[in-house]
Amino acid sequence: MPIELPRLSSNAPIFVRLLPRLAPIVEAALAAGVAAVPEGAAMPANHFADVVPLSMEYAALFLQRIDDGKSLTREDLSKLEVLVTSFAEDRVPLRSLTDGYLGGLQVFWQMIMEEAEPSDIGDLAALGAHLIATIGMLTTTITDAYVDVQQSIFGLERESRRVLCAALLRGEPAVDLAARAGAAIAERYDVISILAGAGLPPTENADAIVKRRWARWAQHALEDIAGASVLNTFDGSSGVALLPAAVDGRERAMRDLATSLAGRFGVNVYVVERLSVPTAQLPDAARECAEVVELARVLGRPTGLHRLEDLLLEYQMTRPGPARDMLARQLEPVLDQPHLMEALDVLMRHGLDRKTAAAELHIHPNTFTYRLHRITELTGIDPSDAHGSRLLAAALTVHRAYPSQRS
């Protein structure tokens, strides 16, 4: 419900004194607004030519509305929306626009107060109430107009870059897409695969909102690393980014990327990179990175940067084929006995040290040994034997990666 604004007194003296001084007050406010914008001093003299007459018009309209006992409406500000749209299309930051008009309004109000006399206190309070209401209307009008441009033009630009990235990752012709996106295709790229662990909200709407935010955070982080716009398909859950290959590599930056995103997301984040990949080899590199990053997740690896060389054995064991299927079948006799699966897992993690494994499970070493005997009886493989332990460790790796893998 809108708040009823106070009216000035009839023929308010401050009003009478302000009208003849309106032009110099507006000029001073405009100068202050430009000065409040960091980029303002570097702009050519005619850059704000459209702002001068519009500011004068709105200042007069502001006072007229007060005299009529009304406030500015959204319809009154239609010309401002057009002006803000042009600034947004010129990529003037929203912060600069808000700094400018707030800096100008501050001087506008200061000069009004300088015109005031002690007897104007009531009318000055009424003017202040109207000015606050106007600031609110200006803020929503400017923000809405700017966001509309971002969602249309900038949104199309981001989407065109995503489409370009996807085409490169599929090995499709991309010259026309690059021209549409305003991007140059590099000869080599660092391929970065990102995977966010579980932990999204349970509702579909919340899930979509969070994913968009995560995707935006990741895009900003990648652009900070690259120092430029980045081709990227990360959707808040998984995806691949292409950064023009760096001469010195980005290992530290990639480790920090995983850690910082995990801190913001509140879930584990896995990052895999392949460095300096020729553009023609991007599809194979991207597939490999996606497989490795998913393997890091299913194996319970921590947040961080992972590479194929860190998971060579696990990667090879989990490649599709008859050997992987046979490995998975070795554990079928004990899959429905959690205490035996737990004993086997703990034994492997502690390098076949039965005493340490039993202590972790808080059971007697003899009880732990009995469980190992049961594993041997059911699977036909002795976990305490060198060959048997390697075979069962491999089977466990396949089971973690593909828990439903059964004959």
Q: What is the 3-state secondary structure (H, E, C) of 218-277?
A: HHHHHHHHHCCCCEECCCCCEEEEEEECCCCCCHHHHHHHHHHHHHHHCCCEEEEEEEEE
Q: In what order do the strands lie in the sheet with 188-196?
A: 231-232, 238-244, 188-196, 269-278, 304-306
Residue-wise pLDDT tens digits, 110-152? 998 988 898 989 988 988 888 898 899 999 999 998 888 877 6
Residue-wise pLDDT tens digits, 59-84? 888 888 887 777 788 888 888 888 88
Pair of tokens at residue 60: 């007069």
- The pLDDT > 90 percentage for the chain reads 29
> Is 300 exposed, middle or buried, given 0-12, 13-18 or 19+ CB atoms closer than 10 A?
exposed
Helix or strand (DSSP H, E) at 304: strand 304-306
Mean pLDDT of the chain: 85
pLDDT surpasses 50 at 202:
no
- The pLDDT > 70 percentage for the chain reads 92
pLDDT at 153: 63
- The pLDDT confidence band at residue 222, using thresholds 50, 70 and 90, is very high
Q: Span 205-214, mean pLDDT?
A: 72
For the chain, the distance separating the N- and C-terminal CA atoms, rounded to the nearest angstrom, is: 67
CA 13 to CA 8: how far, in whole Å? 10
Where do the structural domains in the chain lie, given as residue ranges? Answer: 13-152, 186-316, 321-401
Say which amino acid occupies 153. I
Residue-wise pLDDT tens digits, 315-326? 888 888 888 888
Q: What is the CATH number of domain 186-316?
A: 3.30.70.270
Q: Span 362-372, mean pLDDT?
A: 91
Say which amino acid occupies 189. Y
How do beta strands 269-278 and 304-306 pair?
Answer: parallel
- The pLDDT confidence band at residue 284, using thresholds 50, 70 and 90, is very high
Identify the CATH class of 321-401: mainly alpha
- The pLDDT confidence band at residue 16, using thresholds 50, 70 and 90, is confident
pLDDT at 45: 58
Cα angle, residue 209 at apex, residues 146 and 204 outer, rounded to 5°: 145
Which of the residue ranges 161-175, 248-262, 328-342 has the most confident prediction, judged by mean pLDDT? 161-175
Residue-wise pLDDT tens digits, 83-105? 888 888 777 888 888 888 899 89
pLDDT at 327: 83
Q: List, in sequence order, every beta strand (DSSP E) within 113-249.
A: 188-196, 231-232, 238-244
CA atoms within 13 A on the CB side of 39: 16
Q: Span 5-12, mean pLDDT?
A: 82
Residue-wise pLDDT tens digits, 286-336? 999 999 999 999 888 899 999 998 888 888 888 888 888 888 888 889 888
pLDDT at 273: 93
